[in-house]
Amino acid sequence: MHDPFDITGHAEATDTLAVLDGAGRTYQAGSVAVEALRPQDLIIRRGDYIAVMGPSGSGKSTLLHVLGCLDRPTAGRYLLEGRDISRLADRELAAVRNLQIGFVFQRFHLLRDESALRNVELPLLYAGIARSERRQRAAEALEAVGLAPRARHEPGRLSGGEQQRVALARALVKRPRLLLADEPTGNLDTVSGARILELIEAQNGHGTAVVMITHDPEVAARAATRLLMRDGRMSRADA
């Protein structure tokens, strides 16, 4: 078992995917600075399956946003596949999110007026992929999560579990290297949640690194590595 906080030799290791190198994120809330993520090291290797637990407001989402290039660290460096993310321009970050990182959120975050198929197509649209190929790949991704018959349905006509599967199909259609899930089962019944976890784990089995935030210890128990976040600092949950 690797130590997720030991980043020595990360540059040479071939299985290094993402590295927080003293990376932290401070929010300025008025005159108060909130250290949502304290400067620390973390290494994510290809195929990792990491669960992050911790109380509300401890900085879990902030970690995910930094890893997902939705946010830049205010301290240290974040290296994704050897590239320093904090130095990239907006359009380059957008390109990274577009094809390398899949996101799944507790609230699904689907476009409400668009069909499941068009929702899944979205990242491919911003990748400049032609419409026919987009259709094809989106349909395949929906098929893979068992929603081919629901392709023309808008999110409002789908159950929570189905919506989350659409969101997962949208993440997986990119064929991402890193899948980030922020409480993906937090809003689902047990059966739907289990289905989502199975799908995520299947993707992990294909080599996609997964970082998943969860409040559920049973869910966390399935991950290879469990981290505990407290006041913006991570530690091994099982240590």
Cβ proximity to ligand ADP, 25 vs 174, nearer residue: 25
Residue type, 15: D
From candidates 33, 94, 202, 221, binder to other proteins by CB under 8 A: 94
Rounded CA-CA distance 97/75 in Å is 21
Positions 46 through 85 that interact with Mg ion (CB under 5 A): 61
What sign has the CA pseudo-torsion 186, 187, 191, 197?
negative
Taking CB within 5 to 8 Å according to partner kind, which of Mg ion, other proteins, ligand ADP, none is near residue 109? other proteins
From candidates 50, 103, 138, 199, binder to other proteins by CB under 8 A: 103
Residue count of the chain, please give it: 239
Contact status, residue 160 vs residue 167, Cβ threshold 8 Å: no
From candidates 19, 51, 79, 122, binder to other proteins by CB under 8 A: 122
70 counts as binding other proteins under rule CB under 8 A = yes
Contact status, residue 177 vs residue 46, Cβ threshold 8 Å: yes
Positions 1 through 60 that interact with other proteins (CB under 8 A): 56
Q: Are strands 178-182 and 83-84 parallel, antiparallel or unpaired?
A: unpaired
As a three-state string, the secondary structure of 52-74 is EECCCCCCHHHHHHHHCCCCCCC
Taking CB within 5 to 8 Å according to partner kind, which of other proteins, ligand ADP, Mg ion, none is near residue 78? none
Minimum CB separation from ligand ADP for residue 216, in Å?
A: 15
Cβ proximity to Mg ion, 149 vs 217, nearer residue: 217
**Which of 56, 53, 63 minimizes the C-alpha distance to 23?**
63
- In the complex, which residues of this chain contact ligand ADP (CB under 6 A)? 27, 29, 34, 36, 54, 56-62
- In the complex, which residues of this chain contact Mg ion (CB under 5 A)? 61
